[in-house]
Amino acid sequence: MQTPTLRDVADAAGVHPATASRALNPATRGLVNADTARRVIKVAESLGYRPNPIARGLKTAKSGTVGLVIPDLTNPLFPPIVRGIEDVLEPAGYSGLIVNTDNDPGRERAQIEQLRSRQVEGLIIATALLDHPLLAQLRREGVLMVMVNRRPDGIDVPSITPDDATGVELAVRHLADLGHRRIAHLAGPLQTSTGLVRARAFRSAIRDRGLDDDPDLVEVCTYWSEEAGAVGLRTLLDRGTEFTAVVAGNDLIALGCYDVFAERGIDCPSEISVVGFNDMPFLDKLRPPLTTIAIPHQQIGAEAARLLLDAIADPARPARSVLLPLSLVVRGSTAPPR
């Protein structure tokens, strides 16, 4: 015995399938006699009827799914975001289809094509790479989208981004409060919007507080990686510029600093303080535990999902964008300068 269909319910309740359909759908229930509706609903329950979303989707052109485009689920940044998204999607009767692009533009195109052919109702895009032409094209074709972690410039797409500027400000203020005057910045790649925003915010935070604003104190890393962070710090150190603290572009870069500290016998935090960015898991297990800026990843995901659901409900609504506040997590890698 298979899952019962609408027909079965209708037969059992002694009504026409059309009537059963209307009775079961809250939006059209008003068209049906209240008694009949009740009866149909009861029968449906007793039979364990579950509407077949595939059949429904065919007629209504809605699939109840949205696509999540991320670079790599394995990157600890994304699971909390995805979790936040799912937590909002699920109660709304939607599910997410995840694709990993590995930051490969070709793959990205293909995957998005896949998602579209699966009739997703919208896209949540968390990849930085996405080239504008594709984005603009999707926009033109009326594909609903929400961007995560990245502000699309020039294109009118809703986005959720952490308030990086304030985050950096928080880090700088913390170090300044501890008494640091010469603070260095290991920036992430400036091609990424995050890298750029944080680097700019760093300069202005330094100026605002009247600290030493020396271009030599900023070094740009080629990737958001540990190795790149290590290379960056070495360059900074070898340059001979004095500094007592480092604001790293993200936690991985900060981790690279740890490697250099070990390598050169530098003590953290007594000789150099470090602040990371992201609050990845297990940072508290490091020696010393890393002080960092926490990003509410799960909230970001949840907010993104909400925005997308809004857009699905009313595609005409203008693109809204959200900036989520960050917080400083003080641990052991920061201390007053000697």
> What minimum distance in Å lies between the beta carbon of 3 and DNA?
8
State the binding string over 7-26 for DNA (x if CB under 7 A, else -): x-------xxxxx-xx-xx-
Q: How far apart are CA 231 and CA 253, in angstroms?
A: 9
Q: Contact with DNA (CB under 7 A): which of 26, 48, 59, 106? A: 59
Work out whether 235 is an interface residue with DNA (CB under 7 A): no
| Residues constituting the chain | 338
Please state, in angstroms and rounded to a whole number, the distance separating the CA atoms of residues 158 and 99.
Answer: 20
Interaction mask 42-61, its own copies, x per CB under 8 A: --------xxxxxx-xx---
Give whichever of 46 and 52 is closer to DNA, judged by the CB atom: 52
133 φ, ψ (degrees, to nearest 5): -50, -50
Nearer to its own copies, 16 or 83 (CB): 83
Strand 95-100 to 322-324 pairing: unpaired
Which of 95, 103, 225, 241 touches its own copies by CB under 8 A?
95
Nearest to 256 by CA among 290, 218, 281: 290
Nearer to DNA, 30 or 240 (CB): 30
> How far is residue 146's CA from residue 137's CA, in Å, rounded to a whole number?
15
Please name which of 278, 267, 288 lies closest in space to residue 333, comparing C-alpha atoms: 288
Q: Cα–Cα distances in Å, from 185 out to 182, 244, 250, 290?
A: 10, 11, 11, 16
Minimum Å gap between C-beta 22 and its own copies is: 20
Site for DNA in 86-145 (CB under 7 A): none
Shortest separation between residue 174's beta carbon and its own copies, angstroms: 22
Span of 22-30, 179-187, 268-276, 281-289 interacting with its own copies by CB under 8 A: 281-289
Taking residue 93's Cβ as centre, other Cβ atoms within 10 Å add up to: 9
Locate tokens 């990371």: which residue?
276
Contacting positions for its own copies (CB under 8 A): 3, 50-55, 57-58, 63-64, 72-74, 76, 78-80, 82-83, 86-87, 90, 95-100, 111, 113-114, 116-119, 255, 258, 280-282, 285-287, 298
